[in-house]
């Protein structure tokens, strides 16, 4: 619903009461009448929210959450629960055994997950009877835009380093690329957490720089695309760890050229997002179609190869690089959807 701002004068009545009148249209729209009660909630030092009878605002009343773990519960299930509660904005997450105690493997999984995935979180209590995770990060210390830019930088670095590791047959660098994928995911989880908090609190929505909740959805989809771009860079690194040898130099150069192009359109798409630029997003979508020229150069350079294994690896690398350019196109589509109203003609 479109915001309507009104100014009301504070009046003094009786000996000690200050009153402000309610907008007539608001009262009529809600079917309120004389004698009905409304509820006021103080959000911070300068903000009050006003609610009609029986209206429950989306305020998170609890800051603590408890997960009870079965003795046979799989590690992947525990991790999913941790991430879900982190997304929901809980400040303290208590992991407890349903029956006797947490197993050593369960404890290690929780601690490793907090370290690798949940930005701004620390283990403040750890024993066989339970683990307590506290989210310490301040909402304003790292903005969504700041975290998002860091996430993009890491994903791009992964892509360049992955191909460099193949060129140098550098297994250590390939492993570092794979490890960096966890860092990209950490930023992604942090951003999603912040977006969920923003959607639930209109004041925080404005503080984070969003015009409306719909923009939060757009950012959520963009984050997913950046995560996937990082995943495909990791796939290239895993290829080297699997086969432990480089590929033909001339073909690798073609792949690097293709990767450079994919990262350039990813940059363009994200810049359009930050600038809220509909025209740039549209031109970026058109530009991504040029990826086929680079694919053709790789195919042409591969025609003389006789080694089926190398042909397979090159095709797989080409696909991973192409997917990054597709994510750039997807991000641009999201930017179009977020900013389409700017292109509409204003009517009196």
**Confidence band for 40, pLDDT divided at 50, 70 and 90:** confident
Cβ pair 214, 54 in contact under 8 A: no
Residues 6+ apart with CB under 8 A from 194: 139, 144, 147, 208
For the segment 94-102, the average pLDDT, to the nearest whole number, is 88
pLDDT, position 56: 44
pLDDT, position 311: 95
CA dihedral 110, 113, 114, 119 (to 10 degrees): -160
**Confidence band for 60, pLDDT divided at 50, 70 and 90:** very low
Residue 300 dihedral angles phi and psi, to the nearest 5°: -65, -40
| H-helix or E-strand spanning residue 14 | none
Chain mean position to CA 306: 43
**Confidence band for 102, pLDDT divided at 50, 70 and 90:** confident
- Which tops the pLDDT comparison, 289 or 216? 289
Average pLDDT across the chain, whole number: 86
Cβ pair 252, 246 in contact under 8 A: yes
Distance CA 174, CA 326 (A): 23
For the segment 107-127, the average pLDDT, to the nearest whole number, is 88
For the segment 103-126, the average pLDDT, to the nearest whole number, is 88
CA separation, residue 15 to residues 10, 11, 12, 35 (Å): 15, 12, 8, 22
Q: Is 335 exposed, middle or buried (0-12, 13-18, 19+ CB in 10 A)?
A: buried
Strand pairing of 64-69 and 47-51? unpaired
pLDDT, position 157: 95
pLDDT, position 61: 46
Distance CA 185, CA 81 (A): 16
- Specify the residue for token string 């004389």: 34
Q: Report helix, strand or coil for 95.
A: strand
Q: Which pLDDT tens digit goes with each residue over 292-327?
A: 999 999 999 999 899 999 999 999 999 999 999 999
Structure tokens at 329: 């196109």
Q: Provide the strand spans (E) within the chain.
A: 11-13, 17-19, 39-44, 47-51, 64-69, 92-97, 121-127, 130-135
Q: Is 54 exposed, middle or buried (0-12, 13-18, 19+ CB in 10 A)?
A: exposed
DSSP 346: P
Global pTM value:
0.74
Q: Which pLDDT tens digit goes with each residue over 187-235?
A: 999 999 888 888 877 767 777 777 777 888 899 999 999 999 999 999 9
For the segment 37-61, the average pLDDT, to the nearest whole number, is 63
Residue 112 dihedral angles phi and psi, to the nearest 5°: -70, -40
Q: How many CB atoms lie within 10 A of CB 212?
A: 15
Q: Provide the strand spans (E) within 20-129.
A: 39-44, 47-51, 64-69, 92-97, 121-127
Cβ pair 270, 335 in contact under 8 A: no
Is it the case that residue 1 has pLDDT exceeding 70? no
Among 35-44, 97-106, 158-167, 220-229, the minimum mean pLDDT is found in 35-44
């Amino acid at each position: 619903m479109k915001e309507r701002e009104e100014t009301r004068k504070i009046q003094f009545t009786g000996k000690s009461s200050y009153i402000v009148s309610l907008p007539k249209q608001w009262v009529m729209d809600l079917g309120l009448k004389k004698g009905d009660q409304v509820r006021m909630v103080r959000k911070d030092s300068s903000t009050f929210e006003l609610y009609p009878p029986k209206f429950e605002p989306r305020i998170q009343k609890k800051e603590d959450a408890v997960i009870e773990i079965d003795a046979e519960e799989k590690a992947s299930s525990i991790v999913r629960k941790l991430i879900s509660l982190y997304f929901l904005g809980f400040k303290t997450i208590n992991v407890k055994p349903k029956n006797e105690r947490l197993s050593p493997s369960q404890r290690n999984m929780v601690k490793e997950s907090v370290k690798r995935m949940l930005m701004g979180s620390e283990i403040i209590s750890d024993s066989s009877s339970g683990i307590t995770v506290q989210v310490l990060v301040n909402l304003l210390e790292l903005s969504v835009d700041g975290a998002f830019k860091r996430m993009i930088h890491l994903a791009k670095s992964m892509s360049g380093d992955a191909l460099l590791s193949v060129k140098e047959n550098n297994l250590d660098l390939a492993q570092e690329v794979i490890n960096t994928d966890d860092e990209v995911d950490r930023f992604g989880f942090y951003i999603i957490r912040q977006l969920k908090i923003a959607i639930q609190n209109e004041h925080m929505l404005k503080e984070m720089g969003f015009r409306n909740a719909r923009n939060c959805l757009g950012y959520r989809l963009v984050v997913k695309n950046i995560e996937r771009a990082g995943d495909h860079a990791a796939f290239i690194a895993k290829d080297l760890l699997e086969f432990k040898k480089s590929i033909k130099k001339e073909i690798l150069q073609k792949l690097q050229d293709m990767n450079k192009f994919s990262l350039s359109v990813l940059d363009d798409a994200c810049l359009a997002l930050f600038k809220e630029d509909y025209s740039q997003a549209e031109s970026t979508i058109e530009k991504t179609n040029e990826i086929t020229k680079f694919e053709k150069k790789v195919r042409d350079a591969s025609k003389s190869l006789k080694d089926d294994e190398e042909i397979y690896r090159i095709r797989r690398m080409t696909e991973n690089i192409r997917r990054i350019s597709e994510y750039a196109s997807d991000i641009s589509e999201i930017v179009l959807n977020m900013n389409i109203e700017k292109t509409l003609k204003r009517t009196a």
